[in-house]
Chains A and B, each alone.
Chain A
Amino acid sequence: MTKGARSGQRTAYINARLLDPANGLDEAGALLTDGAVIADIGPRLFAEGPPEDAAVVDCGGLCLSPGLIDMRVFLGEPGAEHKETIASGSQAAAAGGVTTIIATPDTDPVIDNPALVEFVIRQAQDTAAINVLPMASITKGCEGAEIAEMGMLAAAGAVAFTDGQRTIGDASVMRRALAYASTFDLLIDHHAEEPDLAGDGCMNDGEVATRLGLAGIPAAAETIIVERDLRLVELTGARYHAAGLSTAGAVAAIREAKKRGLWVTCAIAPHHFALNELGIGDYRTFAKISPPLRSENDRQAMVDALKDGTIDVISSAHTPEDTESKRQPFARAAYGTVGLETLLPVAMELYHRGHLTLLEVIGRLTARPADLLGLACGRLERGAPADLLTFDPDMPWRIDAEALRSKAKNSAFDGHPVQGRAIRTIVAGEQVYSAMDAA
């Protein structure tokens, strides 16, 4: 699939509420794309009407923002194509307003050599509706023992490094990984959960786990790793990003580290500010997620950390699982929830409840991840990629897992009423999704 509009092919998006967090812009106006890039933008653009040679899209007053950048997405390709392929994941992304996916490397095989990075990039170019950028593993095979060839992997196109849902338990390995990554100024994205303390736990440790007779993962398992990693960042000066945090203790540690001037950032998945451990109910395996859904106190602390800017990024932690992996006794069921198509509406909760402004929510989904990864997208500027999203921030609807475009239907939000929906998704100047066509 060759992506993008040809140069000279122009589209005028008029009558829009322009939202550009990178420049603090929230104003009515218009935008012009030329080929794959943004040609012009502004509140007073087309005061005399759009250019005659341009196709016109009337946004009808809806929001026009950069397309979303999802920093943590598991695609089943290679190795688990029955759960999700790059193609199916990209369709789900387009329907959710996501124009760039950062794919985790914990596939089968693990993306730990340059040829595999190239495979993902090539496969994405051939089959994906949107941009798919690979992360590579920090350690070979995500086994937490030997550092992968980070320099060559980065040269091949890996945008950041992570061991996916695995945590590097060995502090000396982590120290060396951070030190080595700092040589090339690479971003280390780490899933923080002390593996021995988590043990065979499968949900948050506490009263609910006790009642259900399930082994718990204490909040301290996350805090311990984040605190350890922050000490190692101090030793090594690496760029560190804590993936999908869930606990009050961990965000407090990040907040304090930022105050001390460390270069650290962190992300959260929507389920960790929108749901708590009670979502598990009577052993609902769709709510079995890593890190686990936490207590209500933790959930509130996550909202506070989003408000004060401690949490930089909202990413979906999209983890497709087939029915067989989820239709199991809770302790045996696979971890994870799909999230690409629910990222925007669930994030909108933060706006509708008055925790964040619309621009702040969108910033954590666009400009902020673009900054961390050094991407040109994620902003509405002349010359930037024409990766765009028009959305209705208020539209009420109910999430129906069966209606999702993702191959997998394991949504923790199945049945939830939400507000906000992607209307058009544009990648490189070309429309890849329209809610009007989907309906």
Chain B
Amino acid sequence: MDAPRTIDFPHRHLLDIEGLSAQDISALLSLSETYVELSRRTEKKLSHLRGRTQINLFFETSTRTRTSFELAGKRLGADVINMSVEGSAIKKGETLIDTAMTLNAMQPDVMVVRHHDSGAVDLLAQKVQGSVINAGDGSHAHPTQALLDALTILRRRKTLAGLLVAICGDVLHSRVARSNILLFNTMGARVRVVAPPTLLPTAVERLGVEVHHDMRTGLKDADIVMMLRLQTERMQGSFVPSPREYFHFYGLDRQKLACAKDDALIMHPGPMNRGVEIDTDVADDIDRSVIREQVEMGVAVRMACLDALMRSNAAARAERAA
């Protein structure tokens, strides 16, 4: 790790999986691999990003994603500032551009932004000089989650190509599902979505997925079973009759899991609603569940993203100056 690799990452921001090529994704994932090893050492700190400023700007509450980005930045030696705008008295929409301009004036090299509105991070990225990483916008995109899911799978499987991935549950409100569908399709995996129609967005099949409403057929022969959190906080009105009915038909338990391949991996982006979309027994199965490993991979992937963006941008700046 002493002679850091650089990667060719021709993007100023990381806002979405859309727009990334298979090469871009592979490059980020292989850089991430190196950071997995680093994070398992006792001495975890590097100095690649020493002197760089990273601002984590969260308009929506988050513990794990924010912590993960914070650790990632610190392990690379960056100065990391956390700003949480959620819950402030000011109306959130109104402050977005102003907040962006204000923070931009402090010359951050990268801003990591989460917002409850789809497209809000794109809007903010148009107003700032540095790089922007989308840490989740509305129901639109969560690219680092998709990357960390891919990395988690790649540590257990040689390749993503040809795998059958079943994404189950609240696809309608899920930015994780959208980013994963894009990433897996780009990398040559087959994707299914499994949910009642009330939790599927209109024309979801047009994203290149097979649609199933029954867990047994949806999970049949799946290599990966990816459960999504039922996002009750985004629901206005009734999308499912009750958590109990939802668990009965769509919660992952031993019986339904038996339809998937014997060695199928169980994933969940967290935080889990145990007993709603996933049975505790299955979630904690150390042979099958990689849910905790996803969290670990999250730090490595975010290190790679920060590194790729800041160093490729620094290179671009140097080139322009020359």
Contacts and interface: CB of A to CB of B under 8 A. Distances in A.
A329 B202 contact: no
A122 interface: no
Nearest to A218: B202
Contact of B203 (A199, A200, A207): A207
Interface string B176-219: 00100000000000000000000001111011000000000000
B118 A282 contact: no
Given A213-B137, A329-B123, A331-B138, A207 B206 contact: yes
Interface in A185-231: 199-200, 205-207, 209-214, 216, 218
Contacts of A213: 118-119, 137-141, 175, 178
B141 A329 contact: no
Given A199-B236, A329-B93, A331-B138, A214 B118 contact: yes
B120 interface: yes
Nearest to B15: A282
A391 interface: no
A31 B119 CA distance: 54
Interface string B108-127: 00000001011110110000
A210 B138 contact: no
B93 A211 contact: no
Contacts of B178: 210-211, 213
Question: Which 7 A-B residue pairs are closest in the complex by CB-CB distance?
Answer: A213-B140, A329-B117, A283-B119, A213-B139, A213-B118, A329-B120, A210-B201
Nearest to B93: A332
B96 A328 contact: yes
Contacts of B202: 205-207, 209-210, 216, 218
Contacts of B25: none
Contacts of B96: 328-329
Contacts of A207: 202-203, 206-207
B180 to A, nearest CB: 13
B238 to A, nearest CB: 12
A128 to B, nearest CB: 33
Nearest to A215: B139
Contact of B207 (A210, A218, A330, A332): A210
Contacts of A398: none
Contact of B117 (A205, A216, A324, A332): A332
Question: Which of B96, B118, B206: most chain A Cβ within 10 A?
Answer: B118
B93 A328 contact: yes
A129 B140 CA distance: 46
Contacts of A282: 119, 122
A331 B202 CA distance: 17
Contacts of B97: 327
Interface of B: 18, 93-94, 96-97, 115, 117-120, 122-123, 137-141, 175, 178, 201-204, 206-207, 236-237
Contacts of A329: 93, 96, 115, 117-120, 123, 138
Contact of A200 (B115, B207, B236): B236
A330 B118 contact: yes
A282 B139 CA distance: 14
A282 B141 CA distance: 13
B93 to A, nearest CB: 4
13 contacts: A200-B236, A209-B201, A210-B202, A212-B119, A213-B119, A213-B137, A213-B140, A213-B178, A283-B118, A329-B118, A329-B119, A330-B117, A332-B117
A205 B204 CA distance: 11
Tell me if B's interface is mostly helix, strand, loop or mixed: mixed
A216 B172 CA distance: 11
Contacts of B137: 213
Given A199-B236, A213-B140, A330-B118, 20 more contacts: A207-B203, A210-B201, A210-B203, A210-B206, A210-B207, A211-B178, A212-B118, A213-B118, A213-B119, A213-B137, A213-B138, A213-B141, A283-B118, A328-B96, A329-B93, A329-B118, A329-B119, A329-B120, A329-B123, A331-B138
B213 to A, nearest CB: 17
Contact of B204 (A210, A324, A327): A210
Nearest to B175: A213
Nearest to A330: B119
B127 to A, nearest CB: 9
Given A329-B123, A331-B118, A332-B93, A212 B140 contact: yes
Nearest to B205: A207
B172 to A, nearest CB: 9
Contacts of A214: 118-119, 138-140
A265 B237 CA distance: 35
Contacts of A330: 117-119
Interface in A302-344: 324, 327-332
B120 to A, nearest CB: 4
Contacts of A206: 202-203
A329 B91 CA distance: 13
Nearest to B16: A282
B36 to A, nearest CB: 30
A293 B202 CA distance: 16
Contacts of B236: 199-200
A282 B140 CA distance: 11
A238 B236 CA distance: 37
B98 to A, nearest CB: 10
Contacts of A327: 97, 123
A205 B203 CA distance: 9
A211 to B, nearest CB: 7
A210 B174 CA distance: 11
A207 B117 CA distance: 18
Nearest to A204: B202
A304 to B, nearest CB: 23
Contacts of B140: 212-214
A104 B118 CA distance: 31
B193 to A, nearest CB: 11
A207 B204 CA distance: 7
B86 to A, nearest CB: 15
Contacts of B138: 213-214, 329, 331
Nearest to B177: A213
A195 B141 CA distance: 28
A213 B201 CA distance: 9
B138 to A, nearest CB: 5
Nearest to B203: A207
Nearest to B117: A329
A267 to B, nearest CB: 27
Contacts of A211: 18, 178, 207
B232 to A, nearest CB: 16
